[in-house]
Amino acid sequence: MCTLEQRSNLFILTLTGNNQHRLSPTLIAAILSALRQVKSVATSGSVLITNSKGKFFSNGLDRCRVKALSRLSQMVESLRHVVAELVSFPIPTISVVQGHAAAAGFVLALSHDYMLMREDRGVLYMSEIDLGGCLPDYFTVLFRAKIGSGLARRDVVLGGRKVRGREAVEMGIVDGVWGGEERLGEAAVELAERLGARKWDGEVYQKMREGLYPELCVVLGAVTGRIQAKL
């Protein structure tokens, strides 16, 4: 499942276990609950780091446990809430991809403000084209918002390209790569501490992020509004 740890002003959300961290309804709900918990107590200077244990960051939705199309649609909608929460988060967010991130797992990582990757292991892979499935609307808009190069988006979404660490930097998908799990973790903490030291106003940070990704906010708007109404 996942755990949430607080180290001073840093919140560390970890997908636990040595499995593929497939996004089941239970795991999606646990991630969303952890994000809301962080959001309720975060202060100026707080930063969220999302990482994982084992060979996978996340291998996408847990399709093996879902045979009915209606259940799959429900999981896609549940994940929409997670993406909406991250887009409306009042503090900086960092995803640490130290293993494979495929399909919805790729989307989860890309939904963070910063994305760091391990150089010597793991790929980013948007598998829907190979599986014969269309992308949900917010997946498509997220890729347009976060990957600036049209050629890179084409290769990822239409080409099903499996992108390794150094390639991901060159394509403008991730911010940097590091060799080994330990060094990657240290780099994430160092980045988080630099960001936290700026002590930005949370409301201002949220509004400026939303200004950067207006189309994504429109697609997620109704969901984001419901989330905010509950808090």
pLDDT tens string, the chain, 231 residues long: the values are 899 999 999 999 999 987 899 999 999 999 999 999 999 999 999 999 999 999 999 999 987 766 655 677 889 999 999 999 999 999 999 999 999 999 999 999 999 999 999 999 889 999 999 999 899 999 999 999 999 999 999 999 999 999 999 999 999 999 999 999 999 999 999 999 999 999 999 999 999 999 999 999 999 974 555 445 444
Name the strands in the sheet holding 56-58, side by side, starting at the edge strand that comes first in the sequence: 56-58, 100-102, 124-125
> pTM for the complete prediction?
0.93
* Nearest residue to 97 via CA among 151, 39, 52, 49: 52
pLDDT at 230: 46
Q: Determine contact, residues 115/175, Cβ cutoff 8 Å.
A: yes
- The DSSP 8-state label assigned to residue 132 in this structure reads T
Say which residue the tokens 């239409």 belong to.
158
